[in-house]
Amino acid sequence: MGERNMRMRHALSAVMTTALAVIIGGSLAAPLANAQSASIDAWAELATANPGVGCAVDISVEVRSGGAGLAGADISVVVSDDASGATVSNDATSANDAGLAWLTIDTSGTSAGDKTWMNILVNGVYVGGQTIWITGDGGCSGAPTLLDLSGDVPVVSGSSAPAESGSDDSDSGGGDAVVIPGAIAYQQQRGLSCEYASLAIATGMLGDWVSEYDFDPVVPLNANPHWGYRGDITGSWGNTDDYGIYSAPLGSALAQFGFESDAFYGGRDNLTDQIDLGRPTLVWIGTRGDEGSFYEYTADGTRYQLTPYMHVVVVYGYDDGGVYISDPGNGSLGYMDWGTFEWMWGVMDGMALAVHW
């Protein structure tokens, strides 16, 4: 480890002379990947894990697979406040030919005593993290912390580091995949905020994170979830009085933050077309099937469906076997086979909202 520590420290000193200003998720025009799962080894070094307020903390990351540097890997960091879940800072870039990348996190929006958590993702998959304490008198560097990371991530076919033979492919369909770079794992902060949390994930992937809390004041309340948010967002999941919101009003809310969206219903081809265009897509699913679904009516006779245990996740990729999802319910990146996914998605008539610029 001594030789690797020296190499990582050399990389870290180099980044201190090069200011990086990249946005999480990379460019929307980044090429989509035909991918397969591969095991990686990765190391990250922070200039300090106890910075002061207003610091730019430099991070160097090295990613290797099959003994070679993973050139072109998408590297993302997201720092969130432990108490509120709000994003403090994020950054993303691509690894160079040696599998090295340099990033920076900004503590300007913090206060002394804050406890934050830094997520590190490679090709959209969480590989590790680190608690970062904000101190009143801490420096911006000088007390480096080395993280030893590993995991299985989607890797572009034909890259300089192909998947190792015999690598575990149990978490995906195993075939060629289309994966939008820079997927984010984020957990909703309230009992019924999965829709707003999913919007935060999607906007973050496109380079301009909008907090789930920012949607509260720009979305109306309404008993009909096609017209506004139904019930109390802090209520308990599974009931239909405190419930949530459907796709149409979220499009109007996104427009206030400069984003566009396409609402659509059903069809595997419709969904995969959106992913092919690099658009993270919210989908409404009945996690317990159509059990308990029923209809209510507005005063003018408009009918709308309510389904207990309705949930929203973000689809960010697919392959022949299923879809890659970011689930704000548990803050994880995962995979669901097409059969299970379409069974749950069909309960809500395939309701979906693709987010883009």
Residue 181 to residues 81, 280, 282, Cα–Cα distance (Å) = 24, 10, 16
**Is residue 195 over pLDDT 80?**
yes
Confidence of residue 155 (pLDDT cuts 50, 70, 90): low
Segment 207-217 mean pLDDT: 93
48-89 confidence digits (pLDDT tens): 999 999 999 999 999 998 888 988 888 888 888 877 767 788
**Is residue 19 over pLDDT 80?**
no
89 versus 31: which is more confidently predicted? Answer: 89
**Is residue 117 over pLDDT 80?**
yes
Phi, psi of 83 (to 5 degrees): -75, -45
Does the pTM surpass 0.85? The reply is no
* Alpha carbons 30 and 206: distance in angstroms, whole number: 11
Distance from first CA to last CA of the chain, Å, rounded? 44
Q: How many CB atoms lie within 10 A of CB 270?
A: 15
**Is residue 167 over pLDDT 50?**
no
Residue 150 to residues 24, 160, 290, Cα–Cα distance (Å) = 21, 18, 39
Instruction: Please state the CATH superfamily assignment of the domain spanning residues 194-356 in this structure.
Output: Cysteine proteinases (3.90.70.10)
295-327 confidence digits (pLDDT tens): 999 999 999 999 999 999 999 999 999 999 999
Domain ranges of the chain: 2-156, 194-356
pLDDT of residue 32: 34
- Report yes or no: 240 and 224 within 8 Å, Cβ to Cβ: no
Residue 322 to residues 29, 124, 174, 213, 342, Cα–Cα distance (Å) = 24, 17, 10, 31, 9
Q: Where are the beta strands (DSSP E) in 135-205?
A: 145-156, 177-179
Which stretch of 10-14, 36-40, 69-73, 333-337 has the lowest confidence by average pLDDT? 10-14
**Is residue 27 over pLDDT 70?**
no
* Alpha carbons 50 and 140: distance in angstroms, whole number: 8
Provide the sign of the torsion angle of the four alpha carbons 231, 233, 239, 245, taken in this order: positive
Which stretch of 25-29, 55-59, 111-115, 253-257 has the lowest confidence by average pLDDT? 25-29
The residue written with tokens 């081809």 in the block is: 269
- Report yes or no: 38 and 123 within 8 Å, Cβ to Cβ: no
Beta bridge partners of 336: 323
**Is residue 227 over pLDDT 90?**
yes
Q: Which residues contact 121 (CB under 8 A, 6 or more apart)?
A: 74, 75, 76, 77, 78, 127, 182, 183, 184, 185
Q: Name the CATH topology of 2-156.
A: Immunoglobulin-like (2.60.40)
Q: Which residues contact 186 (CB under 8 A, 6 or more apart)?
A: 78, 80, 197, 200, 201, 204, 326, 328, 331
Segment 189-215 mean pLDDT: 94
Segment 178-197 mean pLDDT: 92
- Report yes or no: 335 and 239 within 8 Å, Cβ to Cβ: no
Highest mean pLDDT: which range of 74-88, 124-138, 154-168, 269-283: 269-283
**Is residue 6 over pLDDT 90?**
no
* Alpha carbons 76 and 194: distance in angstroms, whole number: 22
pLDDT of residue 11: 36
Instruction: Output the CA torsion 285→25→356→266 (10° steps).
Output: -30
